[in-house]
Amino acid sequence: MYFKRICFFVILFVTIPIFSQERELSPLSKISLLTVGTADELHSKFGHTAIRIQDATNGLDIVFGYGGFNFEDPLFYSKFTTGKLDYSMTGHRYNQFLEGYKIENRWVREQQLNLTVNQRNELFRFLQNNYKEENRYYKYDFLFDNCATKVPEVFKEVFGNNIEFDPGYLEKTSTFRQLIHETLKTNSWSAFGIDLALGSVIDREATPYEHQFLPLYVKEQFGNIQINGQKLVAKEELVLNNKSIVKNNDFFLSPLFWLIVFSVVILTITYFDFKREKRLRWLDFILFLSTGIAGLLICFLWFATNHSATKINFNMLWAFPTNLVVAFVLLKKKSSSSWIPKYLWFLLGLNVLTILLWVLKIQIFSPLIILILIALEIRFLFLIKYLRRSKSPITQ
């Protein structure tokens, strides 16, 4: 299985030379939109969109897409993390494209497009020019410049006012976060991580056109597009089906299980600390250290990267960055830090503000953080009472 995934990576993400010079399509040519289904791995959770060019006269059967990158770049991880990685247009032979998704067990649907020969050549010329080394690269954006959004942009660029996007193809619109969650299970590490990393900017309602940041909505929109007064999609068919696999959802590996364990441990230790009138310093150190590190990562994604979806992230209110410093203060057996109770009241206020922003739908948080908030608030209240009772020193 590992070898198959390596093969899939090579097939799908390495751009290969398909032709050495520009060609013209014959009257027998066809152009189709390909939509790829989702899979379990995070990189494949949202599907893929590509354009197929067929021409038996010229011996062509190739697929153009977007979203390729150079994994061998020595600065790959730093560029990827900061949102400065160059993504590129890709080209693949159709049989290799299909084989890659067969390995991944993902379906592929094809929509043959109702284009004249002149229109096919106009689109093909644009794609060939865009595929050139000097034009191939672009800055990726999760919401507004990804493998799916690029395809409608290409058609707008090539056909201009001759192509009519239909905003009425949706019965209702959703926020970006709601759209992301359509392919994610709430009790999954991918959903939990995305809700922690992405900010309030994804909680606004997406326009019908903006829904096309997901490939499935590109497919739906293209099924309702008009070009020169005619339907753009002539026919649609399933070219690759996925096999049905029974999945065992192991609750004991889920974030809900581990957050329950986390909360129960915090609350149990707090109860016994209250009874013993003592404080387990290592628990407070771990609690404040972990929330401080989480807060720093959220700050980094918000302020130090080019990722638009990670901006204005109010998860930082409960995962406060300065907790990282306070963790070492609380680790000391004795300290004259009389400001700690005031700081804890400040953190309690931030937790309340988190809930208020949630209720007002300014940012929708993962429902799993309720367990974290409850555990934090109980521990903060205990520490306030304990530290005030001991007046100034923080004792064991």
CATH code at position 161: 3.90.1720
Is residue 154 situated within a structural domain?
Answer: yes
The structural domain count of the chain equals: 2
Q: Are residues 228 and 314 in the same domain?
A: no
Whether 255 and 370 map to the same domain: the answer is: yes
Task: Select from 240, 261, 288 the last residue of a domain.
Answer: 240
Do 68 and 26 have their domain in common?
yes
How far, CA to CA in Å, does 16 sit from each of 21, 90, 127, 205? 14, 8, 15, 38
Segment 298-301 long-range contacts (CB within 8 Å, at least 24 positions apart): 298/196, 298/197, 301/197
- pTM, rounded to two decimals: 0.90
Decide: 395 and 334 in contact? Cβ < 8 Å: yes
- Same-domain check for residues 271 and 157: no
Residues 299 and 318 in one domain: yes
Is residue 193 one of the residues assigned to a domain? no
Q: In DSSP terms, which residues pair with 113 in a beta bridge?
A: 233
Same domain, residue pair 6 and 147 = yes
Residues 278 and 148 in one domain: no
Does residue 196 lie within any of the structural domains? no
| Alpha-carbon distances, residue 311 vs 18, 190, 218, 370, 383 (angstroms) | 39, 19, 25, 22, 32
**Domain assignment of residue 58, given as a range:** 2-170+208-240
Residue 311 falls inside a structural domain = yes
In Å, how far are 286, 322, 330 from 326, measured between CA atoms? 11, 7, 6
The predicted structure's pLDDT at residue 16: 53
Q: Is residue 189 part of a domain?
A: no
Domain boundary among 240, 260, 281: 240
Residue 279 and residue 227 in one domain? no
Pair (165, 271) in one structural domain: no
Angle between the N-to-C axes of helices 281-303 and 189-197, in degrees from 0 to 180, rounded to the nearest 10: 70
Check whether residue 229 and residue 374 sit in a common domain.
no
pLDDT (0 to 100) of residue 74: 79
Is residue 246 in some structural domain?
no
Same domain, 69 and 159: yes
Percentages of the chain per state (helix, strand, coil), in multiples of 5: 50, 15, 35
Domain end call among 240, 263, 286: 240
On whether both 323 and 356 belong to a single domain, the answer is yes
pLDDT < 70 positions in the chain: 1-21, 334-336, 391-396
In a domain, 199, yes or no: no
Residue 303 lies in a domain: yes
